[in-house]
């Protein structure tokens, strides 16, 4: 494995963004819209609700964290689609580039794009709506790390799905975070869910993040060790997603699917 090759994959994405404002603007716009919309909703709820409860960290903070995971996932999958849309995917693997190097390049791209989105959300939420995320200091970093790893796992799995089913299957990929959100307790405790959904939530790393942050914000008892479960689950999912992508890629090579890869379904 050569880091230089993975860096070349990320560098190509950088050149795409640097030469195209239409690619850069969405990095800011969609997250800004989410924060502004939910920020005013929380401000309204604070006005009409009973005194003593602040909806800003409960709702706006949850939106920010979930948007961060979504941007991480989309950073991986969109970088893959850029290669597909430009008919460059087959060219990449005509070089000595390995699957791991390619995935590492996609992850590096996702790190850059998701950090831009996170910085935008933090600035808006803090300066406009008074969300005091910085008050928690370095204690927030482990939570962000678990969300980041979860987003990477979801992004790699999504690219494998699109590689198998074709680029048209991207419409199955974008709703994935929304499909998971009811199970991970973004806006409510896991105990609110039916028992079978609680069992599913225990298998999803973000559940441990939102339960932990909710306990910290509300000042209730919480075992920090449970966050380690989320970390190990997300790491395991990254490994599983990587193996899935490698399997799909090898099948695509062996069956000739890779050579026929186009903007239409390849099933």
In order, the DSSP letters of 151-164 are: HHHHHHHHHHHHHH
Q: For residue 73, what are the CA distances in angstroms to 26, 43, 237, 261, 266?
A: 15, 29, 13, 22, 23
- In the numeric block, the tokens 């990449």 are attached to 92
Distance CA 7, CA 33 (A): 31
- pLDDT value of position 94: 78
Domain assignment present for residue 127? The answer is yes
Domain assignment present for residue 265? The answer is no
Domain assignment present for residue 261? The answer is no
CB 6 within 8 A of CB 105: yes
- pLDDT value of position 107: 94
Distance CA 162, CA 106 (A): 15
Per-residue pLDDT of the chain (267 residues; tens, 9 = 90+): 678 888 989 988 898 888 788 888 888 888 999 999 999 998 888 888 777 677 777 788 889 999 999 999 999 999 998 888 887 877 887 788 888 999 999 999 999 999 999 999 988 888 888 887 766 667 788 999 999 999 999 999 999 998 888 777 778 888 899 999 999 999 889 999 999 999 999 999 999 999 988 888 777 777 888 889 999 999 999 999 999 999 998 888 887 777 666 544 444
Domain assignment present for residue 262? The answer is no
The answer, as to whether pTM is greater than 0.75, is yes
CB 156 within 8 A of CB 239: no
Domain assignment present for residue 266? The answer is no
Domain assignment present for residue 130? The answer is yes
Domain assignment present for residue 260? The answer is no
Phi, psi of 2 (to 5 degrees): -120, 120
Domain assignment present for residue 263? The answer is no
Distance CA 106, CA 241 (A): 13
Residue (of 51, 29, 70) closest to 180 by Cα position = 70
Domain count, the chain: 1
Structural domain range at position 210: 3-255
> Where on the phi/psi map is residue 51: left (φ > 0), alpha (ψ -120 to 50), or beta?
beta
């Amino acid at each position: 494995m050569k880091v230089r090759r993975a860096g070349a994959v990320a560098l190509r994405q950088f050149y795409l963004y640097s030469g195209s404002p239409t690619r850069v603007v969405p990095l800011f716009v969609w997250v800004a819209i989410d924060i502004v919309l939910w920020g005013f909703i929380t401000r309204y709820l604070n006005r009409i609700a009973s005194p003593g409860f602040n909806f800003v960290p409960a709702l706006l903070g949850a939106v920010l964290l979930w948007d961060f995971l979504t941007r991480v996932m989309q950073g991986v999958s969109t970088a893959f689609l850029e290669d597909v849309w430009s008919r460059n995917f087959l060219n990449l693997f005509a070089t000595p580039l390995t699957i791991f190097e390619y995935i590492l390049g996609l992850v590096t791209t996702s790190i850059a794009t998701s950090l831009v989105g996170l910085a935008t959300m933090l600035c808006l939420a803090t300066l406009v709506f008074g969300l005091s995320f910085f008050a928690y200091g370095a204690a927030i970093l482990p939570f962000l790390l678990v969300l980041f790893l979860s987003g990477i796992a979801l992004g790699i799995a999504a690219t494998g799905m699109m590689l198998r089913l074709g680029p048209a299957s991207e419409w199955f990929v974008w709703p994935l975070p929304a499909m998971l959100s009811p199970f991970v307790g973004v806006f409510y405790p896991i105990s609110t869910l039916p028992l079978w959904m609680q069992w599913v939530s225990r298998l999803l790393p973000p559940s441990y993040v939102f339960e932990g942050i909710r306990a910290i914000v509300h000042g209730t008892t919480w075992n920090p060790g449970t966050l380690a479960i989320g970390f190990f689950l997300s790491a395991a999912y990254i490994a599983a997603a990587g193996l899935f992508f490698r399997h799909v890629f090898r099948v695509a090579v062996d069956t000739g699917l890779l050579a026929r890869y186009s903007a239409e379904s390849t099933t």
